Amino acid sequence: MALAPSSWQRTPPALSPNRRKRRPDASPPSHHFHGPQSHSRLSQRLRRWFPIPPQARSVVFDMGNYVSGLFGGRQPKDNGLGLLKSWYDARSRDLTVATDEETGTAQRLLDRRVKDSRKAALEAVKRQKSEPYYKKALEEARRNDGRLEEIGIEVRLKEEKLAEIRKLDKAAKEDLSELFKPLTEEEENEVHDCFHARGPSSKVLVLHEPSNIEVSKEKFQCLRPRHWLNDEVINLYLELLKEREKREPKRFLKCHFFNTFFYKKLACGKNGYDYKSVKRWTTHRKLGYELIECDKIFVPVHKDVHWCLAIINMKENTFHYLDSLGGTDHNVLNMLARYIADEVKDKSNKVIDTSSWHEEIVDGIPLQQNGWDCGMFMLKYIDFHSRGLSLSFSQEHMEYFRKRTAKEILKLRAD
């Protein structure tokens, strides 16, 4: 009788022909490291627990009531800011744009972060094409003389102090009284009546004939506290800013205000970047001027649940991106760099090299502290920049700005 093979004679499990082999495309164990995560665990949980509700896409969405309902009628400590950020992170990738790297037709913008406005003067010197001879000689001498290096440090400190003094002096000269002028009792009552009056929601409260924009009672409700601003209210207010500049051209900068539909039309064509779709928006016959003549060009950018602002500064050859949540989007600015080059070439028959322009991100802009004031922050960024003023406001002013904007829309006149 044949004996059973000993244990050392048995076929090892790994070499057994009948043993099932692991498929090469099988998913790795859950404990394996997959690289850096794009979102924190908290934001992932927020997106699972609080998905974007379908009603958020309605004309008027009461963000405040929705957030309160999620927390059992209690207002969260952050006023819904964390929830908005989780939505923004989850949906920001939906806005597909063709970057310059993808198209291969233009260079990326130079990224220059200005962390302290006091260094603006020093940065301006660095941007010069050639440095003065004495600076080159000074740098050469510093290598052999430690005392000169000490003097150079003292000079830089003096320059920074002087820049700070000039900044304070400029702020002191800015007359902000008009920007925070309280509403009269009559204006307060008029705004209150429009916010709370009974009647059909479809009733038209305001009709702006030049732009043919009408604002119904339902759409006007977005100016109430804890509501998201809609396209009609934003676009009508931008039309009023255009008319304000025409009335008093010496008081305000020469600006162009694109409406809320421009950027998506430009960046979300079938092939991504689509200049032809917006080419006829800026004819001289329609505007009476060309964009190359403007000081600043404002471009509202909507990220599905969040309003941001891009600025093309034609005088300083810079691009700005202002996000009340503190973020930035280089794709947006590179898209606009390509657009302004095509626009100037088409309308003014001139060639500008936007690859030498800079992307400026100045820290310290006013930021929202809740989940519903992004649209109002964007409008005030535009308002203050069109006046050439620093952004001297904060979250505490938003309730006043909502009432003021409502008053100006009802009167069809921006102050």
Q: Which listed residue (62, 89, 100, 323) is catalytic?
A: 323
Q: Which of 396, 402, 386 shows the shortest CA–CA distance to 256?
A: 386
CB 152 within 8 A of CB 138: yes
User: What DSSP string runs through 78-114?
Assistant: TTTHHHHHHHHHHHGGGS----HHHH-SSPPPEEEEE
Burial label, 210 (beta-carbon count in 10 A; 0-12, 13-18, 19+): exposed
The reply to whether 374 belongs to the active site is yes
Q: Give the 3-state secondary structure of residue 11.
A: coil
**246: left (phi > 0), else alpha (psi -120 to 50), else beta?**
alpha
Q: Taking each helix axis as running N to C, give the angle between helix 398-411 and helix 185-196, from 0 to 180 degrees, rounded to the nearest 10.
A: 90
Q: Which listed residue (302, 320, 374, 385) is catalytic?
A: 374
- DSSP-derived secondary structure letter, 141: H
Q: Taking each helix axis as running N to C, give the angle between helix 63-70 and helix 81-91, from 0 to 180 degrees, rounded to the nearest 10.
A: 100
**382: left (phi > 0), else alpha (psi -120 to 50), else beta?**
alpha
Q: Give the 3-state secondary structure of residue 237.
A: helix
CA separation for the pair 372, 380 (Å, rounded): 15
Q: Where are the alpha helices (DSSP H) in 226-373?
A: 231-247, 262-267, 284-287, 330-348
Q: What contacts 277, CB < 8 A, 6 or more positions away?
A: 265, 266, 269
Q: What contacts 308, CB < 8 A, 6 or more positions away?
A: 300, 301, 302, 321, 322, 323, 324, 327, 329, 332, 374, 378
CA separation for the pair 346, 309 (Å, rounded): 25
CB 363 within 8 A of CB 118: no
Q: Which listed residue (302, 306, 320, 385) is catalytic?
A: 306
The reply to whether 323 belongs to the active site is yes
Distance between start and end Cα atoms, the chain: 109
Residues serving a catalytic function are 306, 323, 374
